[in-house]
Copies of this chain bind each other. A is one copy, B any other.
Amino acid sequence: MFETIDPDRSLSKEEYDREIPGLRERIGVLQREFRDKNIPVLIVFEGWRVSGISSTINQLTYALDPRGYRVHFTQRPDDTSRMHPLLWRFWVRTPARGHTAIFDRSWYTDTLLEMRDGDRKPAIPAQAIDDIINMEHLLAVDGTVIIKIFLHISKKEQKKRLKKIREVRPEIIFAEDRKRKGLPEYDTVLPTLEHLISTTDTPGAPWTIIEANDRHFTVVRVFNTIIRRLEETLAGSHTTVVSSPDAEITGDDTRTLILPSVDLTKTLPEDEYQHRFEACERRLHELQYSIHSKKIPVIILFEGWDAAGKGGAIIRLDRALNPRCSVVEPIAAPDPHEKAHHYLWRFVKMLPKQGNITIFDRSWYGRVLVERVEGFCPEQVWRRAYDEINVMEDYLVRSGYILLKFWLHIDPETQLKRFEERETDPLKTYKITEDDWRNREKWPLYAMAVEDMLHKTSTPSASWTIVESNDKYYSRIKIMETVIAALESALAKNGKTGKKNVSAQKK
């Protein structure tokens, strides 16, 4: 790939001065158009060491309205980022609609640095490349325009620049992160880099390699690359990225329904409940300590019918946990600033760091439940969400997360009984609203959505636990014992392989 590119291509000062004012004006106008159309733009800059990324970005931002862009300078991950999977810190910095995020180095540099430790010929696992492709795909499908640029200089030019920098411009160090090693030497990394770039060159997130020995040529090419892609987007002429259509969904009558076969007669007598509950509390307390010291992050999410007992189950689980390292995240309708991002964005921000437990009281499944049934998002959007969720959950589980998903199931009669109790009990009336009664009328629609959810998002790495919840004692014990079993199993595996948590990032 690189050998076909001549890094020496150049542009005279006169040509540069003639071209640049028009390019600046054009990109300024485009930035405003994208702001008005609420389209997010993500620009990634990568390149050889001293290939001029910083000065190129300076030229680019010179032409932009500073109220609409942000440059993310990728230095060593900080404490918090190191306690999350590699892609996390980039996910949470993806641009809001109408905004431009410019990454001065990105997940590509991080991936290269991550893989080469002690390895002379670095190889990148196919899975790590898939993870990148998946993240970019999620963003592209959601409407983010992704532009990836690699600045290519020759080995000779690199040597020349390094020499010059050391001699005459010590302040360039400003632009370097002295505590983080740069990419490995040119020759060492070349084949890996070619592989990485060619495999991640997708229609939704294409690469442009730009000849960068001559700064005038570089800057003009960068402007033209970005302008072309933005114009193609406006014209709708570039390849539209769509997720693969999903054949097997709603209305497939031949499928075995899950909910009708749930045995809701299961109960637990009160004395047995008390006994097992206390045992669970003690065991959870111990396990949380182990989880914390082994740095395993845990996600426990709850979905279920209104009045199925989510709140009560969560309170009891929460009480058994040390609040220093656990938190409950109640999920309501998104705020405007959350809506301005990919719908997974706000959940990614809430993910627990290593050794911590986050309990989600409702979750990202809102998209395929309430948002689907109430028509809060278009059909193709919730349809593609199943895949998106599976991709995210798979990434989390491979990164070392324990992920537990509970569906609390009751029948309509039990719900009615509990609604009526809530209306008459003054201590509970606050729990019931008009919305609850309205949702209840849509029970069959919700049931269909739940069936689809269970069918399509019960994956080997992240299966659903259906909790028979007509009896609250039975329900709560099943939840706590399921959590305990999962933590014990993870700790046993962790102990056996002695593996370090794979999500741990290097400094």
Contacts and interface: CB of A to CB of B under 8 A. Distances in A.
Interface stretch (A57-65, A137-145, A377-385, A463-471): A57-65
Contacts of A102: 323
Contact of A78 (B36, B71, B80, B174): B80
A336 interface: yes
Interface in A349-364: 359, 361
Interface string A32-62: 1000100000000000000000100110011
Interface stretch (A198-206, A235-243, A312-320): A312-320
Interface stretch (A114-122, A327-335, A392-400, A442-450): A327-335
A293 interface: yes
A70 B327 contact: yes
B66 A359 contact: yes
A253 to B, nearest CB: 39
A175 to B, nearest CB: 7
A481 interface: no
A140 B109 CA distance: 47
A325 B177 CA distance: 12
Given A54-B322, A292-B174, A335-B335, A328 B62 contact: no
B58 A323 contact: yes
A376 interface: no
Contact of A323 (B71, B79, B330): B71
A59 to B, nearest CB: 10
Most buried by B among A57, A286, A319: A319
Interface of A: 32, 36, 54, 57-58, 61-62, 65-67, 70-71, 73, 78-80, 102, 104, 171, 174-175, 286, 289, 292-293, 311, 314-315, 318-319, 322-325, 327-328, 330, 335-337, 359, 361, 430
A319 B174 contact: no
Contact of A324 (B65, B175, B311, B315): B175
B315 A66 contact: yes
B175 A314 contact: no
Given A66-B314, A335-B337, 17 more contacts: A54-B322, A54-B324, A57-B324, A58-B323, A65-B311, A66-B328, A67-B311, A67-B328, A71-B323, A71-B327, A73-B324, A78-B78, A78-B79, A171-B289, A335-B335, A335-B336, A337-B337
A491 to B, nearest CB: 14
A292 B71 CA distance: 16
A200 to B, nearest CB: 24
B324 A293 contact: no
Nearest to A293: B174
10 contacts: A54-B322, A57-B324, A62-B319, A66-B315, A66-B328, A78-B80, A171-B286, A174-B292, A174-B322, A335-B337
Given A73-B324, A79-B78, A430-B32, A61 B175 contact: no
B67 A104 contact: no
A19 to B, nearest CB: 18
A174 B293 CA distance: 8
A311 B70 CA distance: 16
Contacts of A359: 66
B174 A323 contact: no
Most buried by B among A65, A315, A323: A323
Nearest to A79: B78
A324 B104 contact: yes
Contacts of A289: 171, 174
Q: Which 9 A-B pairs have the closest CB atoms?
A: A66-B328, A71-B323, A67-B330, A66-B318, A73-B324, A78-B79, A62-B319, A171-B289, A335-B337
A336 B62 CA distance: 33
Contacts of A430: 32, 36
A324 B102 CA distance: 10
A322 B58 contact: yes
Nearest to A327: B70
A300 B359 CA distance: 41
A66 B102 CA distance: 38
Contacts of A36: 430
A82 to B, nearest CB: 10
A295 to B, nearest CB: 13
A399 B70 CA distance: 26
Contacts of A78: 78-80
Nearest to A174: B289
Contacts of A32: 430
Contacts of A311: 65, 67
A18 B289 CA distance: 31
A401 to B, nearest CB: 20
